[in-house]
Homo-oligomer: A and B are copies of this chain.
Amino acid sequence: MMNKQGILSIVSQQQIAEQIFEIKCQGPLVKSMTNPGQFVHVKVDSYDDLLLRRPLSICDIDLEQEILTMLYRVEGEGTNRLSKKQKWEQVDVLGPLGHGFPVEETEPGEVALLVGGGIGVPPLYYLSKQLKKRGVKVIHVLGFQAKSAVFYEKEFNELGETYITTVDGSHGLQGFVTDAISKYELSFDTLYSCGPNVMLKALTSQFENSRGFLSLEERMGCGIGACLACVCHPTEDPEGTSYKKVCTDGPVFKVGEVVL
């Protein structure tokens, strides 16, 4: 029997880019959050007009102080309400959930390319820290819409080479993450990525034969594998009845493992 539910206290909340917030929460539950790429399922408040929890990635963990950092974009009512919460208010968190990025697939000394798009960037931060600790060389390519949406550039830079792209060219390279990879001729032993589906598809077609891991997003109900809201088809049975659940089999899958 596990206890995966806990009440965490907000120790800080701040806006770090347009519509993007960083929230840090503290509590004993954080002790179990060791795997980058896992996520937590957050009940923003206790009002019943907004029923479901919201899945948010683990962006960073301070195991000693039991602090979980999440970065989120205000999308709709749930994230909007979360952004209004003050220091010392509480949130109900279920987690850690899912299978994260396999750090052990990259040997010390090898190169890992971490590619993030928009609000897919957060889980790469905890991942990068752990890879670096293991002695892996990390390269980051982070894509955003515009300069105003860029966040954590400094933080990633401290861990390794970091290339920023923006769609409108207002910061870094103009274009998509794939443009940066081509332009700077980035090579790697393992690819780790999280971001919008179009980006993951582009990466898959470019690197289908590489060792790579992609983190997917899907609307979730339970977050624990019971409701079947978040299923996808495995590549070997694209039309059949077999399936993978993003919440428990993922959110991280091998490149080519599931139909995007």
Number of residues of chain A lying within 8 A (CB) of chain B: 3
Q: Is the interface of A mostly helix, strand, loop or mixed?
A: loop
- Assess whether A49 is interfacial by the CB under 8 Å rule: yes
The CA-CA distance from A47 to B48 in the complex, in Å, is 8
The CA-CA distance from A49 to B81 in the complex, in Å, is 15
The CA-CA distance from A48 to B50 in the complex, in Å, is 9
Q: Which of A17-74 contact B (CB under 8 A)?
A: 47-49
Q: Which chain B positions have C-beta within 8 A of A48?
A: 49
Q: Which chain B positions have C-beta within 8 A of A49?
A: 47-49
The CA-CA distance from A49 to B47 in the complex, in Å, is 7
Q: In chain B, what residue has the closest Cβ to A48? A: B49
Q: 1/0 contact trace for A64-106 toward B, CB 8 Å? A: 0000000000000000000000000000000000000000000
The CA-CA distance from A47 to B49 in the complex, in Å, is 7
The CA-CA distance from A148 to B47 in the complex, in Å, is 31
Q: 1/0 contact trace for A163-181 toward B, CB 8 Å? A: 0000000000000000000
How far is the CB of A105 from the nearest CB of chain B, in Å? Answer: 45
How far is the CB of A49 from the nearest CB of chain B, in Å? Answer: 4
How far is the CB of A221 from the nearest CB of chain B, in Å? Answer: 19
Chain A residues with CB under 8 Å of chain B are: 47-49
Return the 3 tightest CB-CB contacts between A and B, nearest first: A49-B49, A48-B49, A47-B47
